[in-house]
Amino acid sequence: MIVDSCIDRQTRMPVAKAYLTRLGVALDAVKLVVVTHWHDDHMRGAAEIVREAGAARFACSAALRSEEFATLLACGAESMTSSMTSSSGIDEFRKILDALRQRRARGVPAANAGPDHWATHGQVLYERPARDGVSQARVLSLSPSAATVTRALRELGQLLPQEGEPKRRIRQGANQVSVALWIDAGYQRALLGSDLPAGTGPSGGWSAVLSSSTRPAQRARILKVPHHGSQSADEPAIWTEMLEAEPWAVVTPFASGRTPLPTEADLKRLIKRTPNAYCTGRPQGWSPVRRQPAVERTLREVARSRRTILGPVGHVRLRYSLEAADPTVELFGGALKVSA
Amino acid sequence: MAQELPAFRSRQEGPVETDCWPALSGVELGSQARAPESAPFAPSHLFIRPEKVILPEGVVTPATSTSQPLPNSLVGTNTSDRTQEAMLNVEGLVRGVIVKVPRLAPPRTRSEILQQWEGEVRTVDADEFTAVIRDLGSAHAPEEEVTLAREEVSDGDLQLVQPGAIFYWAVGYRISPGGQKTRTSELLFRRLPAWSRRQLERAREHAREFERVLGIR
Ligand SMILES: [Zn+2]
């Protein structure tokens, strides 16, 4: 399965595609593609994956199955204003729908021409029974909650442009509609936190996951730390109720925005919870391209901060047998172990 | 009757050659005819759609006729809204526009652009904003993120500083007639057209197609 997507700046290829190709795994073998939410940083190259992983089910947040989101997609097409190379999540999603439409045109049954798998809490996105000596596997979505979907629709409605309003790039909505995933394979379980926030009441975010009756009773040994390790997505109870002691935790940095994530404080908090914490890259971004001296001098005077937001691809690989052994950890690119 | 044509000017003094603004992609504003080189004024003062321009007496030299056909060659594809305003003003005038131009070429202040970007505003604060910028000189350069003070933006553009706004940023030199070089940084926000009722209706129709793929209808 492939969850979310980003692009390797050097090869311009979706990272998951490049990785599977290196392993000699054809994209045809992929069973499930999940886009956890429609933010730019989780979607680049996702349409290429959906196009090429032709046999995979496509699943996304149930909040996107709405007239509001369809209208937003159309408005995005209508307001293409910039030649910016990095397409927005909205543009990418439109390309995904094109790829799905082509699947239907080729006669692929509707069940796999989806997205018929609308992720909400407690939804089974993929299931394979144990057979031929291979253990069972199951992928479950833990969010968004029904209340969150309703709130998200209202928010999507507010993002729609109004008559007379100047055209701009469509803004991104909040992270609340993110799809957190639970993977069950053999004796191993992983919790992929997406960008799901902690949640302010029992009806949203991690609070809703924790209070849901459909939440799996077991504990996971592997965690994709939610929302790039940020404080806003930190829910202490997932460590005590959904994870084994000292789980393997992987953070993906987000070097864009006012506060690049994770911050020093975020990493300190993480390392207190588990000694097995890893990060796929440098959290603070990369030094900007050096330009000719006169330009550098002007930039130093004018820009309060400057950084390159995409560095070389970092990769934390956790591999384990389906028996209960601990995973082996391998680090590639700029990936690193978080230490105190 | 001579009519002042609001020529496109940079925030710095003196005219800016339109050739300095390439690669701003998108809309072509139609033929921007350039005055013949022989005309006794700086060509950058003219942005004219009609094919003929009758120049006022006194401006015309014996070498040019009073009904001067202008070459159709494009002077860049400048999408600056200021140019657009100028174009609209010209369109509003009768055919045979009269353009008031300086009688003599003034000593020119030149600009030399060293680096230019297209930027997109991401977040806006009380006194600063962050933007992702793309190098217009190199398609392969990585995108960068910058924080800029709002005071870098001209007063006229300040209300345009909103998330999603697109701007052009050039860093270079202004070179005085005497050869004095001053480093400059110029931000120019695009004044994108507003959503019209028709466009919104078209988007809603287009949305029906997406709804079918999404399985809503
Ligand atoms: Zn994210």
pLDDT over 90 percentage in chain A: 50
Give the CA angle between residues B98, B28, A171 to the nearest 5°. 125
Count Cβ–Cβ pairs < 8 Å, chain A vs chain B: 174
When the pLDDT of each residue in chain A is averaged and rounded to a whole number, the result is 88
Q: pLDDT confidence of B67, banded at 50, 70, 90?
A: very low
Helix (H) or strand (E) holding B197: helix B197-213
What is the pLDDT at residue A19?
95
Q: Mean per-residue pLDDT for B186-190?
A: 92
Q: Which of A41, A73, A108 to mutate to test the interface with B (most CBs of B within 10 A)?
A: A73
Reference B97, options B105, B85, B89; nearest CA is B89
Q: pLDDT confidence of A325, banded at 50, 70, 90?
A: confident
The rounded Å distance from CA B61 to ligand 1 centre is 64
Q: Is A294 on the interface with B (CB under 8 A)?
A: yes
DSSP codes joined into one string, A285-298 = -BPPPP--HHHHHH
Q: Mean per-residue pLDDT for B183-208?
A: 90
Q: Which residues of A touch B213 (CB under 8 A)?
A: 97, 100-101, 104
What is the pLDDT at residue B25?
28
In angstroms, the separation between the Cα of residue A223 and the nearest Cα of chain B is: 29
Q: pLDDT confidence of B83, banded at 50, 70, 90?
A: very low
Question: Does the bond joining A262 to the residue before it have cis omega, within 30 degrees of 0?
Answer: yes
Q: pLDDT confidence of A190, banded at 50, 70, 90?
A: very high
What is the pLDDT at residue B58?
42
What is the pLDDT at residue A84?
52
Q: Which residues of B touch A71 (CB under 8 A)?
A: 203-204, 207
Q: Is A67 on the interface with B (CB under 8 A)?
A: yes
pLDDT tens figures, A112-128: 555 557 888 899 999 99
How far apart, in whole angstroms, are the C-alpha atoms of residue A4 and residue A233?
Answer: 18
How far apart, in whole angstroms, are the C-alpha atoms of residue A300 and residue A304?
Answer: 8
End-to-end CA distance of chain A: 33
A285 or B117, higher pLDDT: B117
Q: Is A294 within 8 Å of A273 (Cβ atoms)?
A: no
Reference A226, options A159, A143, A307, A309; nearest CA is A143
Q: Mean per-residue pLDDT for A261-274?
A: 94
Q: Which residues of A touch B118 (CB under 8 A)?
A: 82-84
In angstroms, the separation between the Cα of residue B205 and the nearest Cα of chain A is: 8
CB–CB of B206 and A170 under 8 A?
A: no
pLDDT tens figures, B14-45: 333 333 232 222 222 333 334 344 434 333 33
Domain B110-189: top CATH class:
mainly beta
Question: Does the bond joining A115 to the residue before it have cis omega, within 30 degrees of 0?
Answer: yes
- Our CA dihedral for B167, B172, B174, B180, rounded to 10 degrees, sits at 160
For residue A248, pLDDT beyond 50: yes
What is the pLDDT at residue A65?
85
Q: Is A49 within 8 Å of A1 (Cβ atoms)?
A: no
Residues with Cβ < 8 Å from B128, sequence gap 6 or more?
A: A304, B147, B148, B149, B150
For residue A309, pLDDT beyond 50: yes
The residue with tokens 């806006």 is B124
What is the pLDDT at residue B51?
36
For residue B72, pLDDT beyond 80: no
For residue B49, pLDDT beyond 50: no
CA dihedral sign of residues A244, A246, A248, A252: positive
Q: Is B142 within 8 Å of A256 (Cβ atoms)?
A: no
How far apart, in whole angstroms, are the C-alpha atoms of residue B197 and residue A107?
Answer: 37
CB–CB of B206 and A298 under 8 A?
A: no
What is the pLDDT at residue A83?
53
How far apart, in whole angstroms, are the C-alpha atoms of residue A307 and residue B48?
Answer: 42
Neighbours of A333 (CB within 10 A): 15
Q: Which residues of A touch B84 (CB under 8 A)?
A: none
Determine the number of helices (DSSP H) and then strands (DSSP E) in chain A.
11, 15
Q: Residue A110, CB half-sphere, CA atoms under 13 Å: how many?
A: 5
Q: Where are the domains of chain B?
A: 1-105, 110-189
When the pLDDT of each residue in chain B is averaged and rounded to a whole number, the result is 64
**pTM for this structure?**
0.75
In angstroms, the separation between the Cα of residue A208 and the nearest Cα of chain B is: 26
- Coil vs helix vs strand at A19: helix
Reference B177, options B4, B14, B3, B10; nearest CA is B14
Q: Is B181 within 8 Å of B167 (Cβ atoms)?
A: no
B1, exposed or middle or buried, with CB in 10 Å at 0-12, 13-18, 19+? exposed
How far apart, in whole angstroms, are the C-alpha atoms of residue B169 and residue B118?
Answer: 6
Work out whether strand A117-119 and strand A57-61 pair parallel, antiparallel, or are unpaired: parallel
CB–CB of B25 and A101 under 8 A?
A: no
For residue A331, pLDDT beyond 60: yes
Reference B81, options B159, B152, B9, B129; nearest CA is B9
How far apart, in whole angstroms, are the C-alpha atoms of residue B146 and residue B130?
Answer: 6
CA dihedral sign of residues A10, A14, A16, A22: negative
What is the pLDDT at residue A114?
58
Cross-sheet strand order for the sheet of A188-192: A123-128, A137-141, A181-185, A188-192, A220-224, A243-251, A277-279, A336-337
Residues with Cβ < 8 Å from B65, sequence gap 6 or more?
A: none
* Token reading at B52: 């003929």
What is the pLDDT at residue B112?
93
In angstroms, the separation between the Cα of residue B116 and the nearest Cα of chain A is: 10
What is the pLDDT at residue B80?
38
A155-174 b/e with 16+ CB inside 10 Å = b?
A: ebeebbbeeeebbbbbebbe
**Distance of alpha carbon B175 from the chain centroid:** 20
Q: pLDDT confidence of A47, banded at 50, 70, 90?
A: very high
CB–CB of A81 and B166 under 8 A?
A: yes
How far apart, in whole angstroms, are the C-alpha atoms of residue A317 and residue A304?
Answer: 36
pLDDT tens figures, A57-99: 999 998 888 888 999 888 888 776 555 545 678 888 999 999 9
- Coil vs helix vs strand at B47: coil
Q: Is A260 on the interface with B (CB under 8 A)?
A: no
What is the pLDDT at residue A225?
97
How far apart, in whole angstroms, are the C-alpha atoms of residue B110 and residue A230?
Answer: 49
CB–CB of B143 and A294 under 8 A?
A: no
CA distances from B27 to A118, B12, B80, B192, B193 (A): 39, 25, 10, 11, 11
pLDDT tens figures, B147-163: 999 999 999 999 899 88
